[in-house]
Amino acid sequence: MPSVRRISHEFLERQGLTTIFGNPGSNELPFLADLPDTFRYVLGLHEGAVVGMADGYAQASGRPVLVNLHAASGSGNAMGALTNAVASRTPLVVVAGQQVRSAIGPEANLSNVDAPALMKPLVGWAAEPACAQDVPRALAQAVFEAQLQRRPTYLSVPYDDWAADAGENAPAVLDRQVGRAGVPGGEQGRRLAEAVAAAQRPALVLGGDIDSAGLFDDAVRLAERLGGPVWAAPSQFRLPFPNRHPLFQGVLPAGIEPVSRAFEGHDLVLVLGAPVFRYHEYLPGRYLPEGTRLIQVTEDASAAARAPMGEALVADPAAVIELLMKLLDAPQQPVGDYQPVPAPQSVEGPRLHPEEVFAALREEMPEDTAYVVESTSTNAAWWRQMDLRRAGSYYFPAAGGLGFGLPGAVGVAMAQPDRPVVGVIGDGSANYGITALWTAAQHRVPLTVLLLRNGTYGALRWFGGLLGVPDAPGLDIPGLDFTRIAEGYGVPAQHVTGVDELRAVLSERPDGPRLVQVDTALTTPS
């Protein structure tokens, strides 16, 4: 009879989960024994970076990814990064090692006491199989739950289980395939199409799911058919629509009152692939203006259930877009020209204005560049200067937890080695996932980390003004030189002082990682 390990490896191989992001310890080594050559283990030096890289990789490849963490301490280190993976609906399958079964009760060192409970609020499913023979099936469930729920899952496996005999039924798991078809039925579909067709002034709100499901271009076709304004939902992790498209109104401000104000005059707001809504700043008001009907279409049943207002249909946005395109007989609207980009703002002296930096990106980087952005105070400057027209152009830490950006950029670049990738990272944000530089150097991941150094937690200064706390301590971060940090991790780096120099550097296409540090002037997020 094959071992639990053999069946588990084979299952993972058949499901295509052969790239493992991890940071192992003693409990995990028995799982890694006899790993077939078809597997690739991508070592990260801290679990936050491990999960950030896996998140970027899973998002850019569109596939579930295996993460290997060490017991409770490694899992704990990963939790902040997992909050982002939850919000970006990334199917990460976390497998953590556990002490041998007989040692968990007495709490031998490295026992993960009540392992599933440790991760429960974050993951969509967590378990420790009740016996070794259930490990392959439970591993399959972890993969399928992650795929179906689009949420990280967690499996804790006592390390003496891997060598155990799998039992005669274990191979049955190898042939399993699980899928979902979320096509709305005739009646539901017709009612939705009627509501959209009857709307005088419909508006579209698109979420990150649109881009992660590969519907970026379909959303453009639907919007042009409807002819109304399009917003990106607040606090989103991907860009679902070309940001200079004539119908695009920008990212909705993340407050109740400004969202409601934006919808003024619209009889229907159709929300596709987003929660309703991920507000951030508490700006109270009515959820919707008088006379506005909101219909949310999402695959995420929890997002449908927890919305505080409106109607919701749990369905695949792809199927709904297709159905609306078929049932709506409105002619294609003329759309006009793409919105022009304003001249970038600039500043005197040794620093660059972030808008000058982003203008240089827009002009020097190829059109299909993917950007992973974790630079909070430069948000407004970013959207003023960028012109992103391709699917998969933009990634952002979905739950606002810093530490995704730099590792996420490494993961995106590993998944798409032929596409240029730039991580736009603040001098504060960089520190939370800095060890990913080492992984990028070891794997020679083609990637530019553009490090924006303004010497402070810029966004928190702005928040201080908003919340009436102008004098909070702990907001400045002087004395960091990322060129030396990067070189210590094996990544070549340069400090750039002028726009022309920056443009020249960006126009090079290195075949490995590099870090480019620029000193920037302070701006506000909005």
Is the distance from CB of 83 to CB of 122 less than 8 angstroms?
A: yes
CB contact burial 265-303 (16+ within 10 A = b; e otherwise): ebbbbbbbbbbbbbbeeebeeebbbeebbbbbbbbbeeb
Output the smallest distance, CB 462 to ligand TZD, in A.
8
The interface with Ca ion within residues 433-472 (CB under 5 A) comprises 454, 458
Contacted by 401, from ligand TZD, Ca ion, none: CB < 5 to 8 Å by type: ligand TZD
The interface with ligand TZD within residues 441-500 (CB under 6 A) comprises 454, 456-460
Find the catalytic residue in 25, 182, 310, 490.
Answer: 25
CB contact burial 373-393 (16+ within 10 A = b; e otherwise): bbbbbbbebbbbbbbbbbbbb
List, in order, residues 6 or more apart from 55 with CB less than 8 Å away.
81, 84, 85, 88, 90, 92, 404, 407, 408, 411
8: nearest Cα among 128, 147, 140: 140
Output the smallest distance, CB 173 to ligand TZD, in A.
37
Closer Cβ to ligand TZD, 170 or 359, answer by number = 359
Per CB under 6 A, does 524 bind ligand TZD?
Answer: no
Q: Is 511 buried (19+), middle (13-18) or exposed (0-12) by CB count in 10 A?
A: exposed
> Of the candidates 155, 402, 440, 502, which one interacts with ligand TZD according to CB under 6 A?
402
Output the smallest distance, CB 336 to ligand TZD, in A.
33
Per CB under 6 A, does 400 bind ligand TZD?
Answer: yes
H-type alpha helices, 45-134: 47-61, 71-87, 101-104, 115-119
Closer Cβ to ligand TZD, 115 or 515, answer by number = 515
Query: From edge to edge, which strands make up the β-sheet containing 92-98?
Result: 40-43, 19-22, 65-69, 92-98, 153-158, 125-127
> Of the candidates 124, 273, 426, 433, which one interacts with Ca ion according to CB under 5 A?
426
Contacted by 403, from ligand TZD, Ca ion, none: CB < 5 to 8 Å by type: ligand TZD
Q: Which stretch binds ligand TZD (CB under 6 A): 185-193, 292-300, 395-403, 478-486?
A: 395-403
- 194: how many CB neighbours lie within 10 A of its CB? 11
If you ran DSSP here, which 8-state letter would residue 374 be given?
Answer: E
> Of the candidates 376, 393, 416, 439, which one interacts with ligand TZD according to CB under 6 A?
376
For residues 419 to 448, the per-residue mask of contacts with ligand TZD, x marking binding by CB under 6 A and - elsewhere, is -------xxxx--x----------------
Does the annotation count 70 as an active-site position? yes
In the block, residue with structure tokens 């079964």 = 101
| Bond into 277 cis (ω within 30) | yes
Closer Cβ to ligand TZD, 15 or 454, answer by number = 454
H-type alpha helices, 328-455: 354-364, 379-385, 405-415, 436-442
For residues 60 to 89, the per-residue mask of contacts with ligand TZD, x marking binding by CB under 6 A and - elsewhere, is --------------------x---------
Is the distance from CB of 525 to CB of 377 less than 8 angstroms?
A: yes
In single-letter form, the type of residue at position 493 comes to A
Per CB under 6 A, does 408 bind ligand TZD?
Answer: no
Output the smallest distance, CB 386 to Ca ion, in A.
19
Cα–Cα distance measured from residue 311 to residue 384, given in angstroms and rounded to the nearest whole number? 33
Residue least distant from ligand TZD (Cβ):
426
> Of the candidates 317, 356, 427, 517, which one interacts with Ca ion according to CB under 5 A?
427
Here the tokens at position 141 are 């469930």
Contacted by 248, from ligand TZD, Ca ion, none: CB < 5 to 8 Å by type: none
Contacted by 434, from Ca ion, ligand TZD, none: CB < 5 to 8 Å by type: none
Output the smallest distance, CB 319 to ligand TZD, in A.
35
Does the annotation count 8 as an active-site position? no
Does the annotation count 186 as an active-site position? no
Closer Cβ to ligand TZD, 333 or 524, answer by number = 524
392: nearest Cα among 268, 220, 250, 240: 240
Does the annotation count 26 as an active-site position? yes
Is the distance from CB of 335 to CB of 359 less than 8 angstroms?
A: no
Active site residues: 25-26, 28, 47, 70, 280, 400
Query: Could you list the residues that contact Ca ion (CB under 5 A)?
Result: 426-428, 454, 458
